[in-house]
Amino acid sequence: MNILITGVSSGIGATTAELLLKSGHHVYGTVRKAGDAGQLTRHPAFSALVMDVTDRPAIVEAMATIKATGQPLHAVINNAGIAVSGPLETIAEEDYRKQFDVNVFGNLAVSQEALPLLHAAREAGETNVKIINVGSVSGYVTAPFTSLYSASKFAVEALTDGMRRELIPFGIDVLSVAPGPVKTPIWKKGKTQTKAFEGNRYSHILSKLAAYTEGAEAGGVEPELVAGIIRDMLESDRPRPDRLVMKRNWVIRLLMLAPKRWQDKLFLKNMESNKRY
Ligand SMILES: NC(=O)c1ccc[n+]([C@@H]2O[C@H](COP(=O)([O-])OP(=O)(O)OC[C@H]3O[C@@H](n4cnc5c(N)ncnc54)[C@H](OP(=O)(O)O)[C@@H]3O)[C@@H](O)[C@H]2O)c1
């Protein structure tokens, strides 16, 4: 298969690209800076594309590069993402807009520009044509202080379900893989986001933030686990459209059924013990 994956400079994107290459697929991997694809560029079946998901002309150019190969594009993995943290009351407009620009509108823009290639693949008789969106457990339940990230990932679930239902007549499947905490650089990036907590009534949270973040990452899964599931979803004829990938994921499915006030208590209790879920 020929697969496009956004955000292969690190974490889940880099690990998934690596696994897909090892599994015999051709991978188009996007980076924001030329050179950030690292070891992947050594692989003959890897093509790096420079693209920011918030830059529509760059996305269009990347798709034109793929189209010019004359080969079908079978799948898109919308992996690129950022996690903005901070209290909803104090988070800066610039930051909350960025959260949605990357995780939601960037995801949609990449899918929109890739769809003509995916339709062309189906019309040429290719099967297993798919879009896989990397969501999050935060798209199922909302922990305090990453609420905007959660809102963006709830939106990713909506885009996934809506687009799947719109594309059923065309034979293109749209799926979401929603990991719980995964050991990737995203956590380290989050630790530096303290601005929205400073000098206001949430400043007491700052002393807990590092331990809370470290606790969540330490309890996380390795990116290889997520990569393996993405590969299975790509290769399977009829995969489950909503994969929640975390240890004891049944706890989350159960939590979603619990009354909201009960959920509130659990999140506050968890924060006290530096646990996220
Ligand atoms: N790690 C977790 O615990 C976890 C859990 C659930 C879901 N996820 C999701 O998994 C996905 C990958 O995250 P990760 O954990 O692997 O984190 P990561 O290592 O920080 O990787 C994020 C990737 O997205 C790219 N990216 C960020 N902003 C971009 C933009 N505007 N345009 C294009 N690419 C951009 C980054 O590129 P640069 O290097 O250029 O910034 C990087 O390649 C995200 O959607 C994230 O929300 C992660």
User: Distances in Å between the alpha carbon of 97 and those of 8, 102, 134, 175?
Assistant: 23, 9, 19, 25
pLDDT at 159: 98
Spell out the CATH class of 2-246.
alpha beta
Q: How far is residue 124's CA from residue 13's CA, in Å, rounded to a whole number?
A: 28
Q: Whose CA is nearest to atom 20 of ligand 1?
A: 186
Q: Give the chain's length.
A: 277
Three-state SS across 171-231? CCEEEEEEECCECCCHHHHHHCCCHHHCCCCCHHHHHHHHHHHHHHHHCCECHHHHHHHHH
Tokens of 163: 């687009």
Cα-Cα-Cα-Cα torsion 252, 258, 259, 265, nearest 10 degrees, comes to: -60
Place of tokens 């939590």: 255
pLDDT digits (tens, 9 = 90+) for 54-87: 999 999 999 999 999 999 999 999 999 999 999 9
Q: Where are the domains of the chain?
A: 2-246
Does the Cβ of 162 fall within 6 Å of ligand 1?
Answer: no
The reply to whether ligand 1 has any atom less than 6 angstroms from the CB of 29 is: no
Say which of 96, 140, 149, 212 is annotated catalytic: 149
CB 143 within 8 A of CB 263: no
Q: How confident is the model at residue 276 (pLDDT cuts 50, 70, 90)?
A: low
Q: Mean pLDDT over residues 23-39, rounded?
A: 97
Please give the Cα distance from 18 to 67 (Å, whole number).
Answer: 23
Render pLDDT for 201-246 as a digit per residue (tens, 0 to 9). 999 988 888 888 888 888 899 999 999 999 999 999 999 999 999 9
